């Protein structure tokens, strides 16, 4: 969501939704989530399925061409979510979803990816569509993303190229020789596309693991020099969906704190517009929470996985989240009626379990949904905002002094 807020246009011409929820469709998607916060809080406690998910992560396939040190998803058989499932997924929704992440495996391995995303967008009606890629297929990215941003001119697309290092170091982390150069090519293609299409944001996504955390400040500088619209970092974590539960990949807290402090310094723009500042502060709260989690604490927020968000796997299994892997139901068993699945006994049970166990993890997508639903978030953002203002005031140009004096 950090990136999402940065350049959200938040409108759509989708016929399915325009007659149903026309007015609110033009409000930014996040406001929809916040507006329904009391219902989501109640749903989380009681387990009910009145409120359908606001955020969807859809893994459209499990296959991947990379062999990352932090992820073993390539060990799974290559299953693919059918076009029919993609088209029917949103059938029972009464209002458009806010945020769709099209995930994998590597999504661009699918020849029919454009059709897959079109079906999902038409069915779910999200304002914001996030597509991560390892950047191995610049030609496919150009073709598919070009088609999508043209087909849905009033939706916000965010394509994140995953880069965890520079040159050979990145290739070694990916287990894929030449992948850094291909990813740079993909970035260049996307940037050229974004020049012509304002509904496309081009980002770099980095996973900070124990393998790159010490060098991350230098990596961060090199990646920013590639000119992305945004650079976001996520901590490496064990997730059921990535088949990496037994890998020791999380960084130590101290170097992680240094890494994110550097990232925050380098991405701070004094003249940033108001919304971009808000996004920056939101990311800082995420980094602070992750640091606390790495030190053995909790993220400090209630988790709304399975309550306000869900993860659809390539075989049609709907999970609360990809980390815990708790199954809410199988789409096929409910004739692809997500609303029925959402209200089903298993989904209710999982929801109550997550609330009772106070589950906590640093999954970034989920953390931003949780932050939006946390009533303490505005106060935290205000505090960060005031601290920023104070710092800027202290550094204001004073006649007769130089930058160094300040």
Write out the residues near ligand SF4 by the rule CB under 6 A: 303, 305, 320-321, 323-324, 354, 359-361, 363, 366
For the bound state, the minimum distance from the C-beta of residue 299 to ligand SF4, rounded and expressed in Å, comes to 7
Give the count of beta carbons closer than 10 Å to the beta carbon of residue 332: 12
Please give the Cα distance from 57 to 44 (Å, whole number).
Answer: 19
For the bound state, the minimum distance from the C-beta of residue 319 to ligand SF4, rounded and expressed in Å, comes to 9
For the bound state, the minimum distance from the C-beta of residue 51 to ligand SF4, rounded and expressed in Å, comes to 17
CB burial string 234-253: b at 16+ within 10 A, e below: bbbbbbbbbbbeebebbbeb
Of 173 and 359, the one with the shorter C-beta distance to ligand SF4 is 359
For the bound state, the minimum distance from the C-beta of residue 363 to ligand SF4, rounded and expressed in Å, comes to 5
- Which of 288, 310, 307, 306 is CA-nearest to residue 298? 288
- Only one residue has tokens 């009772």, namely 356
Please give the Cα distance from 38 to 184 (Å, whole number).
Answer: 44
Of 228 and 344, the one with the shorter C-beta distance to ligand SF4 is 344
Of 69 and 324, the one with the shorter C-beta distance to ligand SF4 is 324
For the bound state, the minimum distance from the C-beta of residue 241 to ligand SF4, rounded and expressed in Å, comes to 10
3-state secondary structure of 156: strand
Give the torsion sign (CA, 339, 341, 345, 346): negative
For the bound state, the minimum distance from the C-beta of residue 198 to ligand SF4, rounded and expressed in Å, comes to 32
For the bound state, the minimum distance from the C-beta of residue 366 to ligand SF4, rounded and expressed in Å, comes to 4
Of 33 and 305, the one with the shorter C-beta distance to ligand SF4 is 305
Please give the Cα distance from 30 to 35 (Å, whole number).
Answer: 9
CB-based burial label for 83 (10 Å; 0-12, 13-18, 19+): middle
Of 30 and 321, the one with the shorter C-beta distance to ligand SF4 is 321
Of 27 and 360, the one with the shorter C-beta distance to ligand SF4 is 360
CB-based burial label for 379 (10 Å; 0-12, 13-18, 19+): exposed
Of 32 and 237, the one with the shorter C-beta distance to ligand SF4 is 237
- Which of 68, 70, 66, 2 is CA-nearest to residue 237? 70
């Amino acid at each position: 969501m950090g990136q999402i807020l940065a350049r959200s246009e938040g409108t759509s011409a989708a016929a399915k939704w325009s007659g149903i929820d026309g007015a609110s469709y033009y409000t930014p998607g996040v406001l929809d989530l916040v507006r329904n916060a009391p219902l989501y809080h109640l749903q989380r406690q009681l387990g009910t399925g009145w409120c359908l998910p606001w955020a969807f992560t859809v893994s459209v396939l499990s296959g991947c061409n990379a062999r990352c040190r932090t992820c073993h998803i390539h060990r799974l058989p290559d299953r693919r979510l059918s076009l029919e499932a993609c088209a029917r997924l949103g059938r029972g929704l009464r209002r458009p979803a806010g945020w769709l992440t099209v995930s994998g495996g590597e999504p661009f391995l699918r020849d029919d990816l454009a059709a897959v995303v079109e079906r999902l967008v038409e069915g779910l009606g999200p304002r914001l569509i996030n597509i991560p890629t390892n950047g191995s297929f610049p030609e496919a990215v150009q073709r598919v993303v070009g088609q999508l941003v043209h087909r849905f001119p009033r939706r916000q697309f965010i394509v994140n190229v995953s880069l965890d290092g520079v040159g050979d170091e990145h290739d070694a982390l990916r287990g894929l020789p030449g992948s850094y150069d291909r990813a740079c090519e993909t970035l260049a293609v996307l940037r050229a596309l974004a020049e012509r299409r304002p509904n496309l944001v081009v980002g770099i996504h980095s996973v900070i693991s124990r393998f790159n955390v010490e060098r991350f400040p230098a990596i961060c500088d090199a990646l920013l020099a590639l000119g992305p619209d945004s650079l976001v970092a996520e901590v490496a974590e064990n997730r059921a969906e990535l088949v990496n539960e037994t890998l020791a990949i999380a960084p130590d807290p101290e170097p992680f704190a240094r890494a994110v402090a550097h990232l925050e310094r380098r991405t701070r723009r004094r003249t940033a517009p108001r919304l971009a500042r808000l996004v920056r502060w939101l990311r800082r709260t995420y980094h602070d929470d992750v640091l606390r989690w790495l030190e053995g604490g909790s993220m400090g927020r209630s988790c709304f996985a399975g309550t306000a968000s869900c993860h659809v796997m390539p075989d049609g299994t709907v999970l609360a989240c990809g980390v815990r892997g708790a199954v809410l139901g199988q789409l096929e068993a409910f004739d692809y009626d997500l609303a029925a699945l959402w209200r089903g006994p298993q989904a209710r049970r999982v929801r109550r379990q997550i609330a009772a166990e106070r589950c906590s993890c640093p999954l970034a997508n989920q953390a931003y949904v949780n932050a939006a639903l946390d009533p303490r978030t505005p106060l935290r953002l205000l505090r960060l905002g005031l601290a920023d203002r104070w710092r800027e005031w202290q550094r204001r140009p004073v006649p007769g002094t130089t930058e160094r004096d300040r």
